[in-house]
Amino acid sequence: MIIEDIMIKDVITLTQDATIEQAIETVKEKKIRHIPIVDDNQNLVGLLCDVDIRSATPSIFRIDEYKDDLLKPVSEIMVKEVLTAHPLDFVEEVAYTFYDRRISCMPVVSNQRLIGIVTETDLLHTYVELTGANQPGSQIEIKVRNRPGTLSEIAAIIKRMNANVNSIFIYPFKDDPAVKVLVLRVQTMNPTKIIDSLSSEGFEVIWPAGPEMES
């Protein structure tokens, strides 16, 4: 999946000569946390986050004293060195950048022009969709050796059970590179028969597990 598929395309922006007061009003009115700053050609020149705006907002007890500060341009408080994404970037690569750089949004640009924005909420929503957690079903985790053909064998078993797989994830098992954990989201509310069939074929199901599954 690429960023173009999940980005917000109708982006609320301000120009760099807009006032801090305008930025405060925009955040409150539109209920957003990030405002890309653009020039007259929609080229990205900066970024404002709610943290920047709050830091520049005078205390309500001293607002008259610092009222002139609200009339200053947002160019004085915006972030000018902005991390950006390209519409053809892969979602997982952008997600890693969010994690690694501890950011909460990335404007999406093409040829320097702003064409969208991606936030941590968009990435979380995408993760939920990719895992199938937003659909009725059950999660099964299987510990397997890292060898060719394992996934197709498991898929064949699930097919025999007339069940659909909503999603598949694979992650390493602790510190053993020769072992993987397959996480399957299966479209059934009762996975007992699938688990029994997997176990009878020699696969180690590590979730769900326990006396309630054995009865």
**Domain range for 139:** 133-207
**Residue 20 and residue 100 in one domain:** yes
Q: Report yes or no: 98 and 120 within 8 Å, Cβ to Cβ.
A: yes
Is the CA virtual torsion 188, 192, 197, 203 positive or negative?
positive
Out of 111, 127, 143, a domain closes at: 127
212 falls within a domain:
no
Q: How far apart are CA 188 and CA 138, in angstroms?
A: 6
The dihedral over CA atoms of 143, 188, 125, 150, expressed in degrees to the nearest 10, equals: 30
**Distance from CA of residue 7 to its chain's centroid?**
11
Out of 60, 94, 127, a domain closes at: 127
Q: Residue 61: its pLDDT value, please? A: 54
Q: Residue 56: its pLDDT value, please? A: 79
62 falls within a domain:
yes
Q: Report yes or no: 117 and 7 within 8 Å, Cβ to Cβ.
A: yes
In the chain, the number of structural domains is: 2
214 falls within a domain:
no
**Residue 12 and residue 107 in one domain:** yes
**Residue 122 and residue 25 in one domain:** yes
Instruction: Give the closest residue to 117 by CA, choosing from 94, 144, 145.
Output: 94
Q: Report yes or no: 142 and 185 within 8 Å, Cβ to Cβ.
A: no
* E strand segments, the chain: 14-15, 34-38, 44-49, 105-110, 113-119, 138-145, 165-173, 176-186, 204-207
**Residue 71 and residue 111 in one domain:** yes
What is the b/e burial string over 39-65, where b = at least 16 CB atoms within 10 angstroms of the residue's CB? Answer: eeeeebbbbbbeebbeebbeeeeeeee
Q: Residue 26: its pLDDT value, please? A: 95
Q: Residue 191: its pLDDT value, please? A: 95
Give the CATH number of the domain where residue 153 resides: 3.30.2130.10
The answer for 202, left when phi > 0, alpha when psi is -120 to 50, beta otherwise, is left
Q: Digits of tens for pLDDT over the chain (215 positions)?
A: 999 999 999 999 999 999 999 999 999 999 999 999 999 999 999 999 988 888 877 666 566 666 788 899 999 999 999 999 999 999 999 999 999 999 999 999 999 999 999 999 999 999 998 888 888 899 999 999 999 999 999 999 999 999 999 999 999 998 888 999 999 999 999 999 999 999 999 999 999 975 444 44
**Residue 80 and residue 180 in one domain:** no
In terms of residues, how long is the chain? 215
Q: Residue 55: its pLDDT value, please? A: 84
215 falls within a domain:
no
**Residue 151 and residue 179 in one domain:** yes
Strand-pair partners of 176: 173
The tokens for 213 are 């599954």
104 falls within a domain:
yes
Out of 127, 153, 184, a domain closes at: 127
Instruction: Give the closest residue to 201 by CA, choosing from 161, 172, 146, 164.
Output: 161
**Residue 101 and residue 19 in one domain:** yes
| pTM of the complete model | 0.79
Give the CATH number of the domain where residue 80 resides: 3.10.580.10
CA atoms within 13 A on the CB side of 203: 27
**Residue 165 and residue 68 in one domain:** no
The tokens for 93 are 């690569």
**Residue 45 and residue 95 in one domain:** yes
